[in-house]
Structure formats: C-alpha cells, structure tokens
C-alpha cells in the first residue's frame, strides 16, 4: 500500500539487474511512493539484464555507469539532475561483486588484483558516488543515501571471503561520509545489513542455501525478503527518518542478536 512517502522526491537507483534484485524492488516501491527516478547499472549488466523492462514499469530513464569510474559517475549525476529536473533527494547503492568469489578462490588463495577489484566495485564506489555528488552539489538538504551490507562485515562466514572486507569498508564509509555530508548539507548516509536474499549476487556465494536456511531458522521473524528490504529502504529515503544517519541498520528478522534457537538446540542435542 502506498503512502506518498516520496512524493516529489528525485533519486538514482544503482544495481537493478533482474526482477530478483533488491534494487529492482526498491525502484518499484520508490515509484509507487511518488518518486521520480533514474536507473543505472554497469554497461555490461545493461546488455545482459532486464533493466529496460523495469524502466518501462517505472517510467524511468536508464543512464549507464560503471560505479568504479569517476567519469561515468560524473556524467550519471549531471544527467540525472537534468533529466529529473532538479537536485537529488536519495541514492541507493545496491552493488556487489567479487571476482574471487566468481572464480571460487578460497580465503587462503585470493588473487590480490581481484581483491582490489572487489573493494573498488563493492565499497569504494560508495565513496566515489558521494564524492561526485558533493562536488557537483547534486544533493538536496535532508537527502538520504543508502548502501546495502551484510553481517559478514562483523562475523565470519567463510565462503564470503573478500566480500567481508568490502562490507566492513562500505559500513565504515557510511560513517565517515555520513559525518561529512551531514555537516555540509544535512544529508544522511546509512547502510542496511540485509538477510541472505535469493538474488544473482546472493546465490553466487558457495553454500548460500545453507546459510540462507540457517539464518531463516535462527531469526525469530525469519529472513527478511527483498520486498521487505525495499519497504525499509523507502522509510530511510522518506522524511520520517531525518535524524537517522551514520548507522548500520540490521534488517534481518532478529538474526544479528541471536545466540541459538530452541530448534537448533534440539537438532544439536539429537546429534550423537
Ligand atoms: P544483484 O546481483 O541483483 O545486484 C548486484 C548488482 O551490482 C548488479 O545489478 C550488478 O550489475 C551491479 N554491479 C556489479 N558491478 C558493478 C559496477 N562495476 N558498476 C555498477 N554496478 C555494478 O544482487 P543483490 O543481492 O540485489 O545485491 C545488491 C546488494 O545487496 C549488494 O551490495 C549485495 O552485496 C547486498 N546484499 C545482498 C544479500 C543477498 O543475500 N543477496 C545480503 C545482504 C546484502
């Protein structure tokens, strides 16, 4: 149900690849709540994904940008302000990729060029998009910028390998840039630490089904879905959360504060 929470607001959504993508759901919800949006993704993803379908549903323009390229980001942000008819009120960073995970490298056998790529794509791009937005003076006061994170930033999930460091960096950038952008323009910056979610990026991780089911079992409310993540993101873009900034906000059905559940205790007790 829509509440016009983003009526008159303008924003950029990074990272919608297909209908499973978290960014896809956020784009649809943002539109539903009255926002005007620009969609963006890396040129290769635009060729392979289904973003055109989403653009039609959202009546949105697509502007390609590799999120690691300052030149692409500058073009994207300038053009978005032009197309949307004014400065931006929100941006979603929903981008993650590890060449080490793609190539099934274990944590003891990482390729360091790929490690740097993981960090650049999945974390530094968050800094880059904010630095470009600041330099272009593209954000409105009380704007809101959200990145998507995962609890492997704080706890060990072995198959998440170098993405754990990328997420820790992403969350740290949210704090540091949140301080800076808050002082400069009252812009807030947060990360949402989301439950495991069945998407292209999620399912690319070895053993994903096991930790999806584990988290679902352990969380008193079960895993949060992509649609629920979109709802939460909309609240952060809205004026209802104007003093929330520099936070890593867990959106995980309670998983992050659990030790063990009755079901898992029973399962372990029955194991000889
Ligand atoms: P997804 O695969 O649909 O989205 C990842 C996006 O990153 C894709 O659209 C891809 O094209 C984009 N991307 C990769 N390299 C890029 C580049 N150089 N420039 C611009 N875009 C680029 O998967 P999902 O799950 O929707 O991922 C979105 C975010 O949510 C990621 O940051 C991911 O780490 C995070 N997340 C996902 C969870 C999951 O279990 N799926 C759990 C917690 C966080």
Nearest to 65 by CA among 36, 98, 95, 22: 95
**Residues of the binding site for NAD(+):** 15, 21-22, 95, 167
Query: Structure pTM?
Result: 0.98
CATH number of 10-270: 3.40.50.720
pLDDT of the residue at 272: 66
Residue 224: phi and psi, rounded to 5, are -85, 135
150 flagged as catalytic:
yes
Do 60 and 92 touch, CB atoms closer than 8 A? no
Supply 130's token pair: 């904010």
Interatomic CA distance for residues 238 and 19, integer angstroms? 23
Question: Dihedral sign, CA of 149, 153, 158, 162?
Answer: positive
First-to-final CA distance of the chain: 50
232 flagged as catalytic:
no
Active site residue: 150, 177, 212, 232, which one?
150
Each residue's pLDDT tens digit, 61-112: 999 999 999 999 999 999 999 999 999 999 999 999 999 999 999 999 999 9
Residue 153 Cβ < 6 Å to ligand 1: no
Do 62 and 32 touch, CB atoms closer than 8 A? no
How far is the centre of ligand 1, averaged over its atoms, from the C-alpha of 40 (Å)? 12
Residue 68 Cβ < 6 Å to ligand 1: yes
Q: Is the ipTM of this complex over 0.95?
A: yes
């Amino acid at each position: 149900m829509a509440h016009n929470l983003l009526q008159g607001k303008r924003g950029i959504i990074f990272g919608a690849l297909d209908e499973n993508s978290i960014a896809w759901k956020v784009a649809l919800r943002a539109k539903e709540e009255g926002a005007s949006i620009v969609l963006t993704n890396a040129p290769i993803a635009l060729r392979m994904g289904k973003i055109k379908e989403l653009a039609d549903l959202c009546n949105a323009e697509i502007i390609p940008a590799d999120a690691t390229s300052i030149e692409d980001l500058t073009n994207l942000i300038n053009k978005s302000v032009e197309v949307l008819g004014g400065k931006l009120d929100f941006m979603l960073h929903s981008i993650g990729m590890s060449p080490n995970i793609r190539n099934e490298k274990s944590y003891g056998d990482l390729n360091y060029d790929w490690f740097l790529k993981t960090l650049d794509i999945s974390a530094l791009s968050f800094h880059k998009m904010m630095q470009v937005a600041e330099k272009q003076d593209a954000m409105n006061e009380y704007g809101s910028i959200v990145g998507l994170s995962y609890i492997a930033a704080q706890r060990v999930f072995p198959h998440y390998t170098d993405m754990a460091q990328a997420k820790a960096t992403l969350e740290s950038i949210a704090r540091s840039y949140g301080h800076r952008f808050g002082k400069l323009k009252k812009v807030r910056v947060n990360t949402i630490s989301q439950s495991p979610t069945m998407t292209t990026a999620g399912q690319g991780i070895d053993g994903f089904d096991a930790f999806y089911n584990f988290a679902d079992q352990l969380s008193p409310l079960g895993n949060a879905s992509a649609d629920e993540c979109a709802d939460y993101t909309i609240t952060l873009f809205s004026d209802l959360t104007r003093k929330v900034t520099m936070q890593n906000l867990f959106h995980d059905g309670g998983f992050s504060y659990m030790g063990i559940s009755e079901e898992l205790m029973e399962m372990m007790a029955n194991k000889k």
